[in-house]
Structure formats: C-alpha cells, structure tokens
Amino acid sequence: MQKIRNSKEKVVDESFEGLILAYGKYWKRHPKVKGVISRTRRKDKVSLVIGGGSGHEPIYSCFVGPGLADAAVCGNIFASPDPDAIYQTAKAVDNGKGILFVYGCYAGDNMNFDMGEEFLNADGIKTAHVRGQDDVVSQPMERYDQRRGIAGNLFAVKIAGAVCDAGLPLEECARIVEKARNNTRSVGVATSPGQLPNADHPIFELPEGMIEYGMGLHGERGVKRVPMEPADTLVETMLQAIFDDGDFKAGDEVVCYLNAFGSTSVTEMAICYRRVFQILDSMGIKVHDCDINNYCRTQEMGGFSISLMQLDDELKKYYDMPCYCPYYAKGSVGEAGAADDDEAATEEAVEEPEFDDSDVEDAPVVRSKEGELDVLNAEDAKNMLLAVANKIISNVDYLTEIDNQTGDGDHGFGMAGGLQKAKKKLLAMDPTDNAYEPFETTGRTMLLSMGGASGVIFGSLFLAGSQGAEPKKELNAADLAAMEQKSLEKIQERGGASVGDKTMVDAMAPAVQALKASADKGLLEMLKAAEAAAKEGMENTKNCIAKFGKAKSLGERALGYQDAGATSVALIFEAMREFVEG
C-alpha cells in the first residue's frame, strides 16, 4: 500500500506541524511537546484535556475549541502520549479549577495518564478522569472497566466540553461525563485492513469476501471473522449486540453516530443509517440527533461502527450546547478564532521522531576487561544497556511482525524508538561511580518518551529497581537480581498482569525467579538461567489467552501467537548475557 509521506520516522511530527499551520487561527501548539492548545478557551473553569494516539485524526488532536477541549495531547501512531507530554500540556491550560481528562480505555493510555495526573497532583493541581469504555464486544459487562473506548467516546468529549464551559466544579463535571460514558454503547465491523503510515504492511490480512466483527480503533482483530453480509444484515447484527448489552426500550431518546474507519464512503454509511433509523423507529426509540462521519479513523481501514447514547434531560441539555472546532461543530458559538490574551512568545519545538530509521547503526560497546565479567561497574552497566539498545533496534522489524499478529504493530517502533533515545542519553552521560545510574537513565528516558503501555512497563523494567537505590560502585549478581525483582513488582502493580495473561510478565516473572535462584552461581550463570527462563516464558505465551492489551478482545484467536512484549524481554536478557559473557 502506497503512503503519502516523506519518511517513516517523521510522519507524526510533520502531520502535527501541518495541522497547527492549517488551523493556527484556532490553535497553538505547546512549545515543547505535542500538545494542541485552544486560542479561545475560557480561563475561569475546569480545564478539559483529551488525548490519545495519533493516526485517528481528527480525534483527538483536532477536537479543541469552544465547547470542546481546552487542549489535546498526542502520542505516536496508535500509542498513548507519554506522562511528561500529558503533564506539560495540562499544566499549560490549568485555571486553578482542576483538570478533567477524557481518553479511551487502553492499557497504555490508562497508565500514562495516571502518571501524568500523579505529576499534576504533586504540584497541587486537582484532576479527574473519565475513560471511554463504549465497545460492547470487547469485554462483558462484569468486566466493564476493561472495555476499550472506540468512536462513542465522541459523546463523552462533547458532553465534557459543555459541562466544563458551563463552569461546573470538577467533581460535577466528572459525574456528568461518566453518565454520558455509561449511557453509550458501540460496536464496529471491518471490511478491509488499514496500514500504519510508518509501516510497510497492513495491520492485518482479510481475505476477499470476509469481514472482522468487533474491531477496535487500532485495527486489532475482531472477536470473529465472518462472510460479508448485506448492509441491512450487518446493521441488524450490530444493533442487536448493543441492545443485548443495554436497557433500550420504547420512549427512549438517543443520539446516534455512525463512524467510518477511514475508507468507507458516506454513500455506504447512509445506507446503513437508513436501516438503523428503521429499527429504532420500529422500537419506539426517538433519534434526537444523528451524525454520519469519520471522526475516529484507523487510517484507511474499511468498515464502520455504530454508537448510541441514551439521553436524559441533563445529558440532552449539555449535548445541545454549541461547540466548534474545524472538524466538528454544533449550533453557534459566535465568532471563533480571536487570538487569546496570553499567547506567549513562540519557542522553537525540538522533538525527536518516534523511531529514526536512519540511526540504526550499533552503538560502540566497550567492556572493562576481556572474557567473563564477575561484576558490573558503572561503565559496564552503561555499555550493557547500549548492547540491549543495539539488540532491540536491530530487531525492530521482527518485533513489528510479532505484534502485527495480535496487536496493531506499534511495539517494535515503540521499543526501538525508546531505546534509541536512551542510547543517546547513555552515550552523553557524564562519568559516574554509581552503577545504578545507567539503569535509571535508561528507564526514565523510555518512560518519558515512548508513550503506549510499553513506555510505562519497559521504562519500569530499568527504572523501578534502580530509582532510589543506595549508590554502589559495582553490582554483583545478587544486586542485579534484587533490582529486577523490585522492577517486576512495580510492573505488576502498575499493569496488573500475572503469568498466563499473555504479556511481558510471562517472560519477566520466570526470568526474575531464575535470577534469584541462580544469584549464588555468579553473574554469567545467573543471566544464562534468566535468558533461558525468559525464552521459555515467551514460548508459553503462544498457549495463553490475552487478558491485557489490544489482544485481550481476541479470545482464543490469539492462541498460537507469541506476545511481543515477552519477546522484547527475551531479547533484553539475551543481550545482557551476551555482554557479560563477552
């Protein structure tokens, strides 16, 4: 598939730059991170900040303006923004009344926005969040809090913009937006795959005449694959899933949204809405408002989703309030685009690409002595982590291929990009006597730059066990084992995964067990045992049904495929063993 781009690594930066240039009358960018800030925002209210991965435009980056968000923070393609970007963007629009965050419920978004909130709370800024959880097929009702957010999150953003602009306190804003979220249900179907603009293959393959039922916004596989059906049959099946999940009855009033994923035409969507209206009308359900559009795209993926939000008087009041941005408007908000009164001097934005494919040469790796290492001094620790970066960067295509099988293919670019940035930090490090410092530098860099779940999880792999540790000139086998045990505990605390959940923990947990069990045998033998345990854990993920991440909706369809995160863990321990062995 041919993509209009200059280079893979500049897709997000150049598209972000273009949007700001095109709509500079309405928006300005944060000078240091990928944050879109409204020029016309009110200053005496709760601030609304939305966000998510790039590649879905116009949501979320473009839904900024009167009656909508005060700011949006943007991650890399299909990956959540990192905590630093969330923190800085939100702080730039803080009015002293608190920050409300609205975003889709995905592991990476949840963890990164949680950390962004922690940073803001530490500064004395009150926060609240509402996660979109409208996809009825992604999880059953008893696991409602794990449902992913798809196009129905449009309603939560619309209501949130209205209640914040109405001047309500933070707690009341969150309550009403939660009600809108809880009253919204969606389901989607894909007719053809999309493709990430920085990848060379489609997200998934779909044979002619087949469709994927239950698609997410990242192009994750649906819950089942079935033959293509007539439009009316598709609509009837999709609406039935929504009705089965909710309490829809005669006399209800709803807002309806049909969202095209990217390549489906208005003609096709209108055919589908015709049947939606017929069914709702026959049930005695009134459509208060309907929208047919493609606000929430998966690049050029074919297919669409149906979203219904049940209204009451309160939600109807705020839904009907006017709003405006270049891609979405309701009613009239008066003259839009007047310059704000606090515009600061523009700073030149300097951002690195997610992954720079022109910077794939191995970093020079230097060892303190020939042969096997018994301990790691600070320089050894730094060079071992450079070896880890080299290993992951050289395997970016392999990790992408693995992730494409059950996810959206972004894991390889995310890991390689994070370690690419860590590599630069390590090479520029001043000499140190603390052997923990290179681990902390690597972990912090990955956490603050990668976004997505991988940024938090793999950043913690290096950061959590080293941060705050008593400085040591040399690390022995027991020190390394204790550090990784602490990191594993933090990873499980943040992500909630256990062995058998088809995540990186399936490789990390047995590797840590092997480290502890073999620490008395010396550094090399310990790392050999950890590498073997990590690889066995990686292989075991082929027999697991995913409970976290984008593969969790696949059920048994994920069987036979290994987890990308577990694969990265195995590669990391392999690189560490190779370095120590010499």
Give the number of residues written for the chain.
Answer: 582
Backbone dihedral angles phi then psi of residue 558, each to the nearest 5 degrees: -85, -10
- What three-state secondary structure class fits 407? coil
Candidates 30, 129, 218, 411; catalytic one: 218
Under a CB-based contact definition with an 8 Å cutoff, are residues 276 and 258 in contact? yes
Under a CB-based contact definition with an 8 Å cutoff, are residues 449 and 417 in contact? yes
Candidates 30, 56, 129, 411; catalytic one: 56
Q: Which of 398, 399, 438, 400 is nearest to 422 (CA)?
A: 438
Q: Which of 397, 402, 441 is nearest to 419 (CA)?
A: 441
Long-range contacts of 228-237 (CB under 8 A, 24+ apart): 228/191, 231/268, 231/271, 231/272, 231/275, 232/275, 234/189, 234/272, 235/272, 235/275, 235/276, 235/279, 235/306, 236/275, 236/279, 237/213
Q: Has 218 been annotated as catalytic?
A: yes
Q: Has 30 been annotated as catalytic?
A: no
According to DSSP, the β-strands at 99-104 and 127-132 are parallel
DSSP strands (E only) in 331-435: 376-377
Instruction: Say which residues have a Cβ less than 8 Å from residue 369's Cβ, sequence separation at least 6.
Output: none
Alpha-carbon span 341 to 343, nearest angstrom: 6
Under a CB-based contact definition with an 8 Å cutoff, are residues 563 and 538 in contact? yes
H/E run at residue 417: helix 411-427
| DSSP-assigned beta bridge partners for residue 256 | 290, 308
Q: Which of 34, 66, 243, 49 is nearest to 128 (CA)?
A: 49
Catalytic positions, please?
56, 218
